[in-house]
Amino acid sequence: MPHTEEIIEQALHHIGTGYVFPEKAERIGIAIRRRRADGAYDGLDGPALCAAVTADLQEVCPDKHMRLLWSAEPLSLEPEDQDAGRAAFLALLRSENQGVRRVETLDDGVAVVRITYIPGTDEGAPAMGAAMQLAAGSTALVLDLRSCRGGMPEGAAMWCSYFFPDDQTHLNDIHDGPTGTTRQYWTAGHLPAPRYLDRPVYILTSALTFSGGEDVAYTLQAHGRATLVGETTRGGAHPTVRHTLTEHIQVTVPIARTVNTVTGGNWEGVGVTPDLPAPADQALETALKALATRTASAASASSAS
């Protein structure tokens, strides 16, 4: 394995040239080099080095997407293989049914869709559409994102699109730091299953919900289209790239930032706060109780009129 100093300098180079907030990159470099000079990383093996540098990176700059990652399996150092991480993630999505792990209709007609990843739209749209087709006749919908660990922004926009009537809702923007460009995300005009309108939507969250899962939760909450139930999420809002430093170490660099069109901000470092706080293992029960109360109130109001 290359010398620790070489690994750290390579990581800081990628952070310095790619981080979405260049003014913070300089401060990060100063702090990490100071820690190295103080001997904080002396004698650490690969996994321990990654853990220590990551902790220091996030202490200086609390961006949970900025990390050194250790891979037990050897990584390719060939330039043409630098997209291997994306290929591996696509393979993971295929093995996880594009993140749609379970669709269930409860006895009271409420549909529950469990999502573990947010896929891209090219391969993920059919699975998302199949889930929403199964949920189309339900009285209310629960999206279970408690185990959702990330995904792709275009897939998050497609999931959100099911809960709006057309393609006229501007969801959020992603500003790319290195290029200075901005990509807008709007609701989709055409979907492979019926839209889910005029019925309650609840989203379950946990302290493990991250990145793409947080995108769906935050966006639907901000636009008033869903009620969030559970725990505050992990707080990772910045799209990243991975750079391979050695056969076992990569650095992940956040190169962009998400800006919601309603709030003007995002969930980076703070997480998404639920409307109805509850322990993660009680979130579904809490959501169903809230839904029952909501249904009873609506029935009472209807009979009174």
Residue 242 placed within a domain: no
- Region 87-115: mean pLDDT is 94
162 and 284 co-located in one domain = yes
Find the domain containing 171 and state its range.
96-236+271-298
Query: Could you tell me whether strands 249-254 and 67-70 are parallel, antiparallel, or unpaired per DSSP bridges?
Result: antiparallel
Does residue 298 or residue 216 have the better pLDDT? 216
Q: Which of 13, 42, 74 is the last residue of a domain?
A: 74
Residue type, 125: A
- Region 179-193: mean pLDDT is 95
Domain count of the fold of the chain: 2
Output Rg (C-alpha) for the chain, integer angstroms: 21
100 and 70 co-located in one domain = no
Mean pLDDT of the chain: 93
Q: Which pLDDT does position 269 carry in this prediction?
A: 87
Residue 253 placed within a domain: no
131 and 279 co-located in one domain = yes
How far is Cα 38 from Cα 20, in angstroms, rounded to an integer? Answer: 28
Kindly report, residue by residue over 10-57, the tens digit of the pLDDT.
999 999 999 998 889 999 999 999 999 999 999 999 999 999 999 999
- Region 165-192: mean pLDDT is 95
Residue 56 placed within a domain: yes
Residue 298 burial class via C-beta count within 10 angstroms: exposed 0-12, middle 13-18, buried 19 and up: exposed
User: If we measure between CA atoms, which residue out of 49, 82, 20 comes closest to residue 254?
Assistant: 20
19 and 119 co-located in one domain = no
How far is Cα 305 from Cα 297, in angstroms, rounded to an integer? Answer: 12
64 and 110 co-located in one domain = no
Q: Which pLDDT does position 180 carry in this prediction?
A: 87
Residue 205 placed within a domain: yes
Residue 81 has pLDDT above 80, yes or no: no
Q: Which pLDDT does position 141 carry in this prediction?
A: 98
Residue 59 placed within a domain: yes
User: If we measure between CA atoms, which residue out of 41, 85, 81, 21 comes closest to residue 251?
Assistant: 85
189 and 41 co-located in one domain = no
Residue 80 has pLDDT above 60, yes or no: no
281 and 190 co-located in one domain = yes
Find out whether 165 and 226 touch, Cβ atoms under 8 Å.
no
Residue 2 has pLDDT above 80, yes or no: no
107 and 50 co-located in one domain = no
Using pLDDT thresholds of 50, 70 and 90, give the confidence band for residue 227: very high
Residue 252 placed within a domain: no
CATH number (domain holding residue 191) = 3.90.226.10
Residue 58 placed within a domain: yes
21 and 122 co-located in one domain = no
134 and 281 co-located in one domain = yes
Token readout for 164 is: 């709006």
17 and 160 co-located in one domain = no
Find out whether 141 and 226 touch, Cβ atoms under 8 Å.
no
